[in-house]
Amino acid sequence: MRIHFWGVRGSLPTPMTSAQLRNKITAVVQRITPNDLVSEDARENFIQNLPEWLTSTIGGNTACIEINTDDNQIFVLDAGSGIREMSYKYFEEAETTIHMFFSHFHWDHIMGFPFFAPVYDSNFTFHIYSPWPETMKILAAQMEPPYFPANFSTCTPNIHFHLLKPDMTIKIGEVSVMCKKMFHPGTSYSYKFIENNKQFVYATDVELTAASDEEKNDYKSFFANSDMLVLDSQYTIDELFDKPNWGHSTCCHGVDLAQECNIKRLFLFHHEPTYDDKKIHSLLKIARWYAESTGKTAFDIEAAKEGMDVIL
């Protein structure tokens, strides 16, 4: 499986501002010494040793992940604003089938659907999965006047909707797929994908601390021994206390869960829209420090960012 992040933010799109870009440039300039400029190699070495938050960006688009499976299936997880960028990848493709899974229908997870060019192209066939029987109605509603100029009837007729049952396994090609109900206002679902003994779990929008003990045990069973877990880590501990029952988690609670579930790689996801790149990377450092301080099983921790590719 190849996992690609097209959008990693929560709540609403957050493009980098001019002030944030200027702050990055200022921080780089302040680090330069005369020796860093004496040759091309010196300049390149200087750039290579800058903190990652200065040389890249987490990205500002909301949730969208693409999975390309070993048997050439295309899976899309949620249709936040990041899915618009994915359109360019599939320009001029012929007779392509895309399987799309929705965790829930809060706006940040569906707002990109009307901007995904392939949904208007009859060369594409879509299979859309969720545990909600009204999925088509929900997707169509945001395309009705006065919200959008083109309604759902302008989409390709090759869109098929599939109702999922929690904890039931379905098979798509060589991939096993199942979903699990999570604690989130209005309910959200995580998804697990298994192919060639590799296990990937997508668990956006979940408040781990608000779940009951029974729910937490269900989560642990569902996540157990995953090769990769993408997990909601929108808040700091302070914010979690200020926003109880808003439906989100922290990086440290993600670390606890990953250790209990024997997760190999944890990707912090659904980043808070008010956080800049420096803040998110500082939370990544906290998560890594916390994981190391527990003295438990070591595992990789990353902050999900747009454009990132991971191969399992």
Per-residue pLDDT of the chain (312 residues; tens, 9 = 90+): 999 999 999 999 999 999 999 999 999 999 999 999 999 999 999 999 999 999 999 999 999 999 999 999 999 999 999 999 999 998 777 789 999 999 999 999 999 999 999 999 999 999 999 999 999 999 999 999 999 999 999 999 999 999 999 989 999 999 999 999 998 888 999 999 999 999 999 999 988 888 888 888 999 999 999 999 999 999 888 887 788 777 788 999 999 999 999 999 999 999 999 999 999 999 999 999 999 998 777 799 999 999 999 999
Radius of gyration of the chain (CA): 20
Q: Is residue 33 part of a domain?
A: no
Q: Is residue 296 part of a domain?
A: yes
| pLDDT of amino acid 203 | 96
Contact 303, 281 (CB under 8 A): yes
**In this structure, how many other beta carbons lie within 10 angstroms of the beta carbon of residue 100?**
25
Q: Is residue 116 part of a domain?
A: yes
Q: What would the 3-class secondary structure string for the chain be?
A: CEEEEEECECCCCCCCCHHHHHHHHHHHHHHCCHHHHCCHHHHHHHHHCCCHHHHCCCCCCECEEEEECCCCCEEEECCCCCHHHHHHHCCCCCCEEEEEECCCCCHHHCCCHHHCHHHHCCCEEEEEEECCCCHHHHHHHCCCCCCCCCCHHHCCCCEEEEECCCCCCEEECCEEEEEEEECCCCCEEEEEEEECCEEEEEECCCCHHHCCHHHHHHHHHHHCCCCEEEEECCECHHHHHHCCCCCCCEHHHHHHHHHHCCCCEEEEECECCCCCHHHHHHHHHHHHHHHHHCCCCCCEEEECCCCCEEEC
Sign, CA torsion 28/303/245/102: positive
Evaluate the omega torsion of the peptide bond into residue 146 and state whether it is cis, within 30 degrees of 0: yes
| pLDDT of amino acid 231 | 97
And the tokens for 212? 């009951």
| pLDDT of amino acid 132 | 95
Instruction: Report the domain count for the chain.
Output: 1
Q: Is residue 28 part of a domain?
A: no
| pLDDT of amino acid 295 | 78
| pLDDT of amino acid 111 | 98
CATH code assigned at 108: 3.60.15.10
Output the CA–CA distances (angstroms, integers) from residue 44 to 41, 51, 57, 295, in the order listed: 5, 14, 19, 37
User: Domain of 67?
Assistant: 2-16+57-311
| pLDDT of amino acid 221 | 93
And the tokens for 176? 């096993």
Q: Is residue 124 part of a domain?
A: yes
Q: Is residue 235 part of a domain?
A: yes
| pLDDT of amino acid 38 | 95
Q: Is residue 252 part of a domain?
A: yes
